[in-house]
Structure 1
Amino acid sequence: MAASPSTARAINDRLALRLLQDEGPLTAAQLKTLTGLSRPTVADLVDRLSGSGLVHVVGEAGAERRGPNAKLYGLVADRAHLAALDVRTRSVAVTVTDLLGTPLAEATAPVGEDAGTGPAVEKAVALLERTAKDAGVERLHSVAVGAPGLIDPETGELRDTTGLPAWHRRLVAVLQERLPAQVLVENETNLAAVAELREGAAVGREDFVLLWLGLGIGAAVVLGGRLRRGASGGAGEIGFLPVPGTSGLPSATGCDGGFHELVSTVAVEALAAAHGLDPARALTSGHGPFLDALARRLAVGAAAVAAVLDPGCVVLAGETGHQGGPELAARVEAELAALSPLRTEVRATTLGDAAVLRGALLRARDAAQDALFP
């Protein structure tokens, strides 16, 4: 059944707005080419979007092409303002942007392990409010929070997970209470994967798994270009994967004995010390024997991922993936090729420490555009 005229207009408007977001300012002729719509249809949608305050003229496409056809149309960047938070166990990072994602202000603050739930929440909220004020923003439209832990797929809330600070869960509730904005929360590893998919190491790939390697260990699964969370939101809890070479087996309440025991930051530092290296510089030292030993450990988990999902690509992210870079990724790929008949490319993160914050910003931007775009 053909779409009604109003539905067709809404579809065309959204397509044009997405192109203006992704490609930047465009002329009506460029919109016609990219959308495949007729010239009158494009002219109507440009008038409609301009009248709604979403699009305006931002310049002309070259001095040699004066006139209506040369006008460049772009999104109205200050139509909405966004915020993204990267909530770690011991710190919070915040960025405030316009609707286009242009950074207006950024800040980071430590949160001590001895801070109580209330003070920790207030410190994080105050950091966001201060950063928004520094950006000259009075009202935020959408706020996205990236945090460790499981997200309930039914409620979208951060679940009570053993070992994570209580203030993480309370923070989202307080933000929802105090801000006249939509507040969203997502697992940090999932957000890093979204950022790598759209702007980083996984651009152009429909299927991949991101391994988050830091104080905690996790994975994000992207298949068919979509993030897969699993029935309980726990897809990718690879830290609990039973593997050889550990002290035993993990349990429902702890990942000691799992893959976490082999490749967490603590384990990597211990491995570096065993090779006579400074743990703080081991990953960037170029020390072959150490990198080979670490690559063998990482390949065990990557082989399990490949055997079950066959993603064709694994991205190493988090502190270890970032610092190890392409050299560590190449060694893991070679080790993995010896363990599995499934060809799997291994790439290092290209977004590094900024991946979670960038993913949170993309999440906030998508939510704002879904609300604002007709």
Structure 2
Amino acid sequence: MDLSESARAVFAVLAGASTATRPRLAADAGLSKPTVSSAVAELEAAGLAAHSGTAAGAIGRSAAVYRLGPAAGAVLAVDLGPDRTRVRGCALDGTLLAEGDGTRAEAAGTVRAVLSELPTDAPLRTIVVAVGDVTTRDGTRMRPATAKAGPVYDQVAVALPPGVPVHLENNVNCAALAELHQGAARGRDTFGYLRIGVGIGLGVVIGGRVLRGANGAAGEVARLPFPWDESREPRREALEEHIGVRSLLRRTAEAWRDGDGPCPRTAERLFALAGEGHATALAMVGRHAADIGRLAAAVSAVLDPGLIVLGGAVGANPQLLPGVRTALAELSWPTEVVSSALGDSGTVVGATRLAVARGIQTVTGVGTGRH
């Protein structure tokens, strides 16, 4: 969009603040009051800013308050999870406009439903889709060697409006971004987000930025060699198979005794039984916690992150914390371990933040630094 440099700076500040007076815009953008007045007038003429009332000043004077205008537009964030699809539409100041949640099979319909609720006068600036795959550095496609979400993404892509930029991002990276800004890692600029669920993954945050790696595959701990055993050769993604929820439930079924009652078919039921003090369930949760603690020790040995946030459908369960902390303490130097503060919503929260940052960039033509 053809905006003056000062108008771009004021727009970025206004998007970050939601509402602001001209004095605040001048202070935050580092511009003079006359320059801000001209920039605001330019944004208003383009429909990118709008007057939204007045605020009383400290000495009795009132100041005009501005917000984003309808032409600023909206963004869409889509989390293509292994079981659920979560979708959010937001304004460029992060205000939630619409959201939806459906099964994986309902992904395209969930996207269409959220799109139908967005304001018709708000242009869609960008779309971020979180996938359980390694993506290219420019976020335009998934790497063929991983491409687990391909068929579902193809269905969703048909539902996306043509002509709108689409950025693909790894779901664990999105969740790590959310924990950094809104979750358990607030105030910590270096940490690891370890997701344990159907699969496993690691989001690495160094100096307040998500580490992507040379191939976009930083944190792909599923590729760690496993098992390390003289009698068995390591297999590709065997560690993910061992720690993933399917193996947890299989091992539970093998260990379940006749007098234990009905064998749990879901991780939620297993943890519920453990919470009730069921001996076999407690043993299985303890064994799983020890396995996760060993993985956390490997992460700590390589990254020394200082903090590991446990997330995912299984990993976020606080019953795992004591066992993970014990195993990690036995194998590595002191590293804090906490449960995710965002739970299942972490990925879509992070994808939304990334979409907002990219949406602002489409208007201003410059990076925002907010992601």
When normalised by structure 1's length, the TM-score is 0.80
The answer to whether the 8 A contact 1:158-1:169 is kept is no
- Name the SS for the 2:169 alignment partner: strand
The answer to whether the 8 A contact 2:200-2:221 is kept is yes
Question: What displacement does 1:80 show?
Answer: 0.8
Once residues 32 and 149 of structure 2 are traced to their aligned partners in structure 1, the CA distance between those partners, rounded to angstroms, is 55
Residue pairs, 1:108-257, within 5 angstroms = 108-112=101-105, 124-137=107-120, 140-153=124-137, 156-161=140-145, 164-168=148-152, 170-171=154-155, 174=158, 179-243=162-226, 248-251=232-235, 254-256=236-238
Residue pairs, 1:44-83, within 5 angstroms = 44-62=38-56, 67=61, 69-76=62-69, 79-83=72-76
Q: What are structure 1's unaligned runs of at least 5 residues?
A: 1-5, 113-122
Match status 1:281 vs 2:265: no
- Name the SS for the 1:159 alignment partner: coil
Once residues 179 and 163 of structure 1 are traced to their aligned partners in structure 2, the CA distance between those partners, rounded to angstroms, is 22
- 1:337 aligned residue (313, 329, 336): 329
Amino acid at match of 1:354: S
- Name the SS for the 2:315 alignment partner: helix
Greater RCO, CA 8 A, separation 6+: 2
- Name the SS for the 1:198 alignment partner: helix
- 1:311 aligned residue (302, 305, 311): 305
Match status 1:355 vs 2:346: yes
Question: What displacement does 1:160 show?
Answer: 2.2
Question: What displacement does 1:37 show?
Answer: 4.3
Question: What displacement does 1:320 show?
Answer: 1.2
Amino acid at match of 1:183: V
- Name the SS for the 1:281 alignment partner: helix
Q: Describe the superposition over 1:300-340 as per-residue Cα deviations: whole angstroms up to 9, x where unpaired.
A: 11111111111111111110123x13x53354234312211
User: In the superposition, relative to structure 1, how do residues 179 and 154 fare at CA in structure 2: closer, same or farther (>3 Å)?
Assistant: closer
Once residues 190 and 44 of structure 2 are traced to their aligned partners in structure 1, the CA distance between those partners, rounded to angstroms, is 38
Question: What displacement does 1:167 show?
Answer: 1.0
How many correspondences in the alignment?
348
The answer to whether the 8 A contact 1:56-1:75 is kept is yes
- Name the SS for the 2:77 alignment partner: strand
Q: Describe the superposition over 1:164-215 as per-residue Cα deviations: whole angstroms up to 9, x where unpaired.
A: 2541453476467x52311111111111111111221222221111111111
User: In the superposition, relative to structure 1, how do residues 50 and 240 fare at CA in structure 2: closer, same or farther (>3 Å)?
Assistant: same
The answer to whether the 8 A contact 1:141-1:180 is kept is no
Q: Which moved more, 1:261-270 or 1:39-48?
A: 39-48
Once residues 330 and 77 of structure 1 are traced to their aligned partners in structure 2, the CA distance between those partners, rounded to angstroms, is 50
Question: What displacement does 1:128 show?
Answer: 2.1
RMSD: 3.2
User: In the superposition, relative to structure 1, how do residues 14 and 224 fare at CA in structure 2: closer, same or farther (>3 Å)?
Assistant: farther
Question: What displacement does 1:155 show?
Answer: 6.4
- Name the SS for the 1:229 alignment partner: coil
**In structure 1, what is the equivalent of residue 18 of structure 2?**
24
